[in-house]
Chain A
């Protein structure tokens, strides 16, 4: 293992303190390529079991296909994109804007993953973080993982950050 990748590993470990939040398993992705977004749900809302996970698809994320999950229904909300995207020679101007898994019951004591396949459009800006706001609904209560740090706000510790993925330039 090179010294650089070792540093990245350490940084990644430090950045996810005990995985107390809903996060994305894969922390980096390349623009203009496909990305498997795996949402890790480590616990319920203050002890209450999770019954629904809603994910908002950010602009520039296209061709979204959620993976079906045993014991859960998966629904999507489609809508217009803010701009048009080129996808295998087709112009895409609308598509999935929200994915929701519901009907299941994930105990606070268990861990699970919710997966969707996506494509990151060319137009996304490299070296920024792309956020997927998540609303976690439980038998009692709601946790909103929707806080997006403002540009240059420094390392202010937010209480319920939206899961994010670091965008890398095309190789």
Chain B
């Protein structure tokens, strides 16, 4: 047990070393998306809410041609795309596909027009059924990790018998296949390529640049070790335990949940959650086999499993609850977002699973102790559990395609950039429509270093509607930006924005600009 603890600690530390946050969202574009410019910009800058790695960035110019002469450079959360010289007039589209810190791709397009707007369309994404393949590969991976590795762990470490390990063995083969396929598919998805590109090396290389690559390798290693543990008797128990820890580790290394802040909480929670699932679900297939052919050894095994299962279920529920709270942020998201909807279905299935488990634990297992005739009922119940578990895997694999509510940026905020030789102010207005708006003022010096202000004031007026200046004090937030919350912009139109930043007691920097506010 000491060996196991040391191993888990080591692997956990290795997993934490990738200091990461999660699922990126685009927060501003310079020049603003949809803007009409008199001359072509030198560069387009995309700013995200976290550091990202560029996947593919494509430019379609105003003449509708795809250009390959852009230069992409990334530093932290900003991606800068240097525009080729001599862009033709018309609407150009920059479509981007970047890799978040959780290893998932985030894609979108922004447009700007040189001279006059034209009808250039964003390029269609080459999906080509890739999402279905990713989903299937992921279900395969879950089968391998939970049914396979979990099953071998049950057989070797809990039951001490290889009865009913045919299913885990098959699951392990499916799992290895699914993990390898996932690796290539993740890469192809990041690059925006079709499944046919799996024959080239590019997607595989890219996959290893993300957190998904190492995580999948750990998963494959765990499954191979598990197969090994199934094959030979010597050291089988120890090997099965190592593989079992690998399941939790692999899950804690990547994905929405494991990379959600605070990681000190989410990564260990994901690790324990993975172990819990593997323990519970892995045991089902061997248990069903044991129950269909009960012997004298069956009951002690059943009892041993049940004793450990009760605290395991408690850990599962606790870690699952913690992760759900972090990801959802509020209860309404449970029904209002696709992520929450998937979670709702999962929770419903889990409740059924729990009911069956309770039935097995408190009714059917004691019944077997009295009379072996109860065994078929237990077997049916366990088989039903297996079916529901498979359903949960299928549902949970769908999370790969939905951003968790915590990362959803309500709507792309309106952004204006005011520049003088003294200072640069970036103003984000969300939602940027008539009505109640939140303002974020990012104050920088002319050299783009943060500007230390003592006070900041936002003044808004709408001269065309005779609205006189409204003055609002901004508050310095913990993010280092100045915030004005819930400010009313009663009408759409061209608002005048003025920002006063008090730099010293006697000096103040004032910048002004216009802000086009859309109707609600």
Q: Which residues on A are within 8 Å of B, measured CB to CB?
A: 54, 56, 133, 135, 144, 146-147
Contact = CB atoms under 8 A, between A and B. Distances in A.
Contacts, number: 18
A146 B510 contact: no
Nearest to A135: B505
A56 B508 CA distance: 13
B459 to A, nearest CB: 9
Nearest to A142: B505
A132 to B, nearest CB: 9
B418 interface: no
A147 B506 contact: no
18 contacts: A54-B505, A54-B506, A56-B505, A56-B506, A133-B506, A133-B507, A135-B505, A135-B506, A144-B502, A144-B505, A144-B506, A144-B508, A146-B505, A146-B506, A146-B507, A146-B508, A147-B508, A147-B510
Main secondary structure of the interface of A (DSSP, over half): strand
A78 to B, nearest CB: 16
Contacts of A54: 505-506
A54 B504 CA distance: 13
A147 B512 CA distance: 14
B308 to A, nearest CB: 67
A145 to B, nearest CB: 10
A147 B500 CA distance: 10
Interface in B457-516: 502, 505-508, 510
B503 to A, nearest CB: 10
Interface of B: 502, 505-508, 510
A144 B508 CA distance: 9
A133 B510 CA distance: 15
Nearest to B512: A156
Given A133-B506, A133-B507, A146-B508, 8 more contacts: A54-B506, A56-B505, A56-B506, A135-B505, A144-B502, A146-B507, A147-B508, A147-B510
Contacts of B510: 147
Contacts of A56: 505-506
A139 B505 CA distance: 17
Nearest to A133: B506
A133 B505 CA distance: 9
Contacts of B508: 144, 146-147
A144 B455 CA distance: 12
Nearest to A56: B506
In this complex, the member of B505, B506, B507, B508 whose beta carbon has the largest number of chain A beta carbons within 10 angstroms is B506
A49 B502 CA distance: 23
Contacts of A146: 505-508
A146 B508 CA distance: 7
Nearest to A54: B505
A147 B506 CA distance: 9
- What 5 pairs across the A-B complex have the smallest Cβ distances? A133-B506, A56-B506, A146-B506, A135-B505, A146-B508
A135 B510 CA distance: 17
Nearest to B420: A150
A56 B505 CA distance: 9
B454 to A, nearest CB: 10
A164 to B, nearest CB: 14
A54 B210 CA distance: 58
A167 to B, nearest CB: 20
A147 B507 CA distance: 8
Contacts of A144: 502, 505-506, 508
Contacts of B506: 54, 56, 133, 135, 144, 146
Contacts of A135: 505-506
Nearest to B422: A150
Contacts of A133: 506-507
A84 B127 CA distance: 72
Nearest to A162: B506
Nearest to B459: A159
A141 to B, nearest CB: 12
A146 B455 CA distance: 14
Nearest to B502: A144
B261 to A, nearest CB: 39
A54 B505 CA distance: 9
A52 to B, nearest CB: 11
Contacts of A147: 508, 510
A135 B118 CA distance: 53
Nearest to A156: B512
B402 to A, nearest CB: 49
A133 B507 CA distance: 8
A54 B506 CA distance: 9
A144 to B, nearest CB: 7
A146 B505 CA distance: 9
A100 to B, nearest CB: 11
A144 B454 CA distance: 13
A148 B194 CA distance: 61
A22 B510 CA distance: 20
Contacts of B505: 54, 56, 135, 144, 146
A133 B508 CA distance: 10
